[in-house]
Amino acid sequence: MRGDVLTALATVRDPELDEPITTLGFVASCTVTADGQAQVRLRLPTYFCAPNFAFLMVADAYDAVSAVPGVRTAEVILDDHFASDAINQGVAAQAGFVQSFDGEAVAELGDLRAQFLRKAVMAGTDLVCRPLIAAGVTPTELAALPLGAVPASPELERLRRRRAELGLAADDCAPLLIDPSTGERVDGEAVPLHLRRARVTRAGIEANTSMCSGMLQHRYSAPIG
Amino acid sequence: MYEKDGEKYFIVDTHMHYWNAAPDNWVPGAEQYAKGWIECFHAYQSLGPQETHWPIEKFQKYSEDDLMKDVFEDGHVDVAIFQPTYLKEWYKEGFNTTERNAALGEKHPGMFIANTRFDPRDGDNGLDELRRNVERYGSKGVKLYTAEWNNGSRGYKLSDPAAYRFLEKAQELGIKNIHVHKGPTIWPLDKDAFDVSDIDHCATDFPELNFIVEHVGLPRIEDFCFMATQEPNVYAGLSVVIGGLMHARPKFFAKVMGELLFWVGEDKMTFGSDYGIWEPKWQVEGFVDWQMPDDEELSDYQKLTTATKKKILGLNAAKLYDITVPAEFMVPAQAGEPAAKDDAQLVAGQ
């Protein structure tokens, strides 16, 4: 059953870095007893990593582990963080973010999550388009491509999933290039700038991920995948 | 100054600190935050070369002698600009105040510029303090933390009316440069502290002021880049970019530099070591030696010229702070244009 729990944890992503917490090295330990009591400990690169993202990861991990067949009780604990207590207690009580940080937060985190999903869609667009551009596909041709005409790849699947999470079209007929805020097709003169924005978005996320992994390594002397 | 291959570089370190984060300065009851904060900074240091790492004890409180040696004697810096960080809720005398910085600066005339700070939520007292600091220390710049907590407020926007009052006052007092921390942060909990849209408004409404976005809005460089490209008085502060990426993550450093050069341009990028997080020596020497790699993936990013590096390492900041630079360090007119752009202009002109 521990394997099932780890598989479930691999569906939980750092919303900012758009990577699974398992590959980021954020899962410090995971135990499951024979009678279905799961306990997961999470850790982050610094004591002061943004608490809103930390809360989302702990809450998502709790939901993912709880949904594993055979798990009777789930406990997810964030270690070594300035807001560990508030987050751990809030998630255990299934309280929202606002209630967990009484008086310190005024809004739930749905908007923040959506904002980062849109960034993930932009970064994913660059991942998918780059090989096509290298193969000689022009920006105008890219704008005319439906998703179904793009060669299959893990990057394409990931882009489809992120778009679907945002409620944006992700079927074969949907255009490859869309504005992630409106879902509308991007074409004409807007294409080169859109591709440039996709690229800088990806560069930012990758740079940030690389620094986070370096600091996690420093903090826990952990081998990082 | 730094000299390599017959080229002389005038170095302005636009973002450095002289802090005291040792236990004797921790506020009772807030020890875990004071300790956690400096340990977090220390983790950033681990992204620099191994031989430049310090033990935590030295990192908590380095001496004046350490600073003078690391920054000027070994670090090639000609002028260093102190950026204060208060954090008085955790550190009794503050982490790195205008006063502490200036006291050191006053002992070494001509080597430092002591910037100050303000917080719009401090009201009239804050305006008075700003005036006193500018008069006493001759500050030409301020460092602002829009995400900082203050009396129950979870951060502010630089476009708030209260902030405009301070920006107007700062301008009246002769402040030219507004350094805004838009980067890794802690609080406020639920607001978007990385959001740079407030800078967009201020930069338009205060065209005489320069806005240097420190840490280039990481992890949201795309929002910063897109804003900066539209505002002539917005600059990219490279603190953390060079220190955090050049050694540890060279490929991502190349991408971030390529993007910044494309969107913001070499005339609006300024070097900052973020000392004591990282020593300037390896950053200056490494950056002078650095070039955009010949990698297929990076092929449409511009190469750096010697002029690009001279501007980023000092000449751009010297302009912002009216620092007189001897002629031998200057860039010959027209030499700063990379070949690709010349070609583009030729094509466009046909």
Q: How many CB pairs under 8 A join A and B?
A: 110
Listed range (A17-21, A179-183, B13-17, B195-199) with the worst mean pLDDT: B195-199
Confidence at residue B47, expressed as pLDDT on a 0 to 100 scale: 95
* Confidence bin at B156 (pLDDT 50/70/90): confident
**Closest alpha carbon to B71 in B306, B271, B210:** B271
**Closest alpha carbon to A201 in A7, A2, A16, A3:** A16
Question: Nearest chain B Cα to A197, which residue?
Answer: B222
Confidence at residue B191, expressed as pLDDT on a 0 to 100 scale: 54
Contact B47 A51 (CB under 8 A): no
Which of B38, B54, B181, B190 to probe by mutation at the A interface, max A CB count within 10 Å?
A: B190
Dihedral, CA of residue A91, residue A96, residue A100 and residue A101, to nearest 10: 140
Contact B240, B183 (CB under 8 A): yes
Residue of higher predicted confidence among B275 and A108:
B275
Confidence at residue B187, expressed as pLDDT on a 0 to 100 scale: 54
Contact A109 B190 (CB under 8 A): yes
Contact A214 B248 (CB under 8 A): yes
* Confidence bin at B343 (pLDDT 50/70/90): very low
Confidence at residue A224, expressed as pLDDT on a 0 to 100 scale: 40
Q: Name the pairing type of β-strands B210-214 and B7-9.
A: unpaired
CA distance linking residue B189 with residue A123, whole number of Å:
25
Q: Which of B43, B219, B255 sits opposite A219 (nearest CB)?
A: B43
Q: Which pLDDT tens digit goes with each residue over A13-29?
A: 999 899 999 999 999 99
Confidence at residue A52, expressed as pLDDT on a 0 to 100 scale: 85
* Confidence bin at B345 (pLDDT 50/70/90): very low
Does ipTM top 0.85? yes
pTM: predicted TM-score of the whole model, two decimal places = 0.91
Question: Nearest chain B Cα to A50, which residue?
Answer: B186
- Judging contacts by C-beta atoms under 8 Å, the chain A residues touching residue B263 are 200
Residue of higher predicted confidence among A109 and B108:
B108
* HSE, side-chain direction, 13 A CA sphere, residue A208: 25
CA distance linking residue A41 with residue A49, whole number of Å:
16
Contact B222, A197 (CB under 8 A): yes
Contact B77, B12 (CB under 8 A): yes
Taking the CA of residue A104 and the nearest CA in chain B, the distance in Å comes to: 7
Taking the CA of residue A29 and the nearest CA in chain B, the distance in Å comes to: 22
Contact A211 B249 (CB under 8 A): yes
Is A210 part of the contact surface with chain B (CB cutoff 8 Å)?
yes
Contact B248 A134 (CB under 8 A): no
Average pLDDT over residues A106-125: 88
Domain that holds residue B31: 2-349
Contact A203 B256 (CB under 8 A): yes
Residue B51's CB: how many other CB atoms inside 10 A?
7
Contact A47 B40 (CB under 8 A): yes
Q: Which pLDDT tens digit goes with each residue over A49-90?
A: 888 889 999 999 999 999 999 999 999 999 999 989 999 999
Average model confidence (pLDDT) across chain A:
92
* Confidence bin at B180 (pLDDT 50/70/90): very high
First-to-last alpha carbon distance for chain B, in angstroms, is 42
Amino acid identity, residue A21?
A: I
CA distance linking residue A67 with residue A73, whole number of Å:
10
Average model confidence (pLDDT) across chain B:
91
Q: Which of B189, B226, B262 sits opposite A104 (nearest CB)?
A: B189
Nearest-5° Cα angle at B201, B229 to A116 = 70
Q: Which of A48, A115, A205 sits opposite B186 (nearest CB)?
A: A48
Is A184 part of the contact surface with chain B (CB cutoff 8 Å)?
no
Amino acid identity, residue B262?
A: F
Contact B200, B164 (CB under 8 A): no
DSSP state of A112: H
Contact A81, A111 (CB under 8 A): no
Contact A47 B39 (CB under 8 A): yes
CB proximity list for B204: less than 8 A, separation 6 or greater:
B231
Contact B173, B134 (CB under 8 A): yes
Confidence at residue A43, expressed as pLDDT on a 0 to 100 scale: 97
Confidence at residue B119, expressed as pLDDT on a 0 to 100 scale: 94
Average pLDDT over residues A32-56: 93
- Judging contacts by C-beta atoms under 8 Å, the chain A residues touching residue B256 are 203-204, 207
Contact A49, A101 (CB under 8 A): no
Q: Name the pairing type of β-strands B234-237 and B141-144.
A: unpaired
Which of B252, B292, B296 to probe by mutation at the A interface, max A CB count within 10 Å?
A: B252
Average pLDDT over residues B175-179: 98
Question: Nearest chain B Cα to A202, which residue?
Answer: B222
Average pLDDT over residues A141-164: 96
Confidence at residue A51, expressed as pLDDT on a 0 to 100 scale: 86
Contact B218 A130 (CB under 8 A): no
- Give the domains, in start order, of chain A with CATH numbers: 2-106 (3.30.300.130), 111-209 (no CATH)
* Confidence bin at B220 (pLDDT 50/70/90): confident
Contact B43 A130 (CB under 8 A): no
Partners of residue B342 on adjacent β-strands:
none
- Judging contacts by C-beta atoms under 8 Å, the chain A residues touching residue B55 are none
Backbone angles phi, psi at B89, to 5 degrees: -70, -20
Contact B47 A203 (CB under 8 A): no
Contact A48 B244 (CB under 8 A): no
CA distance linking residue B317 with residue B214, whole number of Å:
13
CB proximity list for A67: less than 8 A, separation 6 or greater:
A8
Listed range (A68-77, B96-105, B216-225) with the worst mean pLDDT: B216-225
Q: Which pLDDT tens digit goes with each residue over B282-307?
A: 999 999 999 999 998 899 899 999 99
Amino acid identity, residue B31?
A: E
Contact A218 B154 (CB under 8 A): no
**Closest alpha carbon to A181 in A102, A121, A92:** A121
At B104, which CATH number? 3.20.20.140
The helix (H) or strand (E) run that includes residue A139 is helix A139-144
- Residue B186, token pair as written in the block: 């802690």
Taking the CA of residue A52 and the nearest CA in chain B, the distance in Å comes to: 6
Provide the chain A residues 80-99 that lie in CB contact (below 8 A) with chain B: 82, 97-98
Dihedral, CA of residue B290, residue B292, residue B295 and residue B298, to nearest 10: 150
Distances (CA, A) of A169 to A48, A161, A163, A177: 37, 10, 7, 11
Confidence at residue A105, expressed as pLDDT on a 0 to 100 scale: 72
Contact A82 B154 (CB under 8 A): no
Domain count, chain B: 1
Distances (CA, A) of A96 to A55, A56, A65: 9, 10, 18
Is A45 part of the contact surface with chain B (CB cutoff 8 Å)?
yes
3-state secondary structure chain B: CEEECCEEECCEEEEECCCCCCHHHECCCCHHHHHHHHHHHHHHHCCCCHHHCCCHHHHHCCCHHHHHHHHHHCCCCCEEEECCECCCCCECCCCECHHHHHHHHHCCCCCEEECECCCHHHHHHHHHHHHHHHHHHCCCEEEECCCCEECCEECCCCCCHHHHHHHHHHHHHCCCEEEEECCCCCCCCCCCCCCCHHHHHHHHHCCCCEEEEEHHHCCCHHHHHHHHCCCCCEEEECCCHHHHHHCCCHHHHHHHHHHHHHHCCHHHEECCCCCCCCCHHHHHHHHHHCCCCCCHHHCCCCCCCHHHHHHHHHHHHHHHCCCCCCHHHCCCCCCCCCHHHHHHHHHHHC
Confidence at residue B348, expressed as pLDDT on a 0 to 100 scale: 39
* HSE, side-chain direction, 13 A CA sphere, residue B135: 7
Is A193 part of the contact surface with chain B (CB cutoff 8 Å)?
no
Taking the CA of residue B189 and the nearest CA in chain A, the distance in Å comes to: 6
Question: Nearest chain B Cα to A216, which residue?
Answer: B43
Listed range (A96-105, B89-98, B112-121, B225-234) with the worst mean pLDDT: A96-105
- Judging contacts by C-beta atoms under 8 Å, the chain A residues touching residue B154 are 104, 106
Helix-then-strand count for chain A, H and E: 8, 5
Is A41 part of the contact surface with chain B (CB cutoff 8 Å)?
no
Three-state SS at A14:
strand
- Residue B334: pLDDT over 80: no
- Residue B204: pLDDT over 60: yes
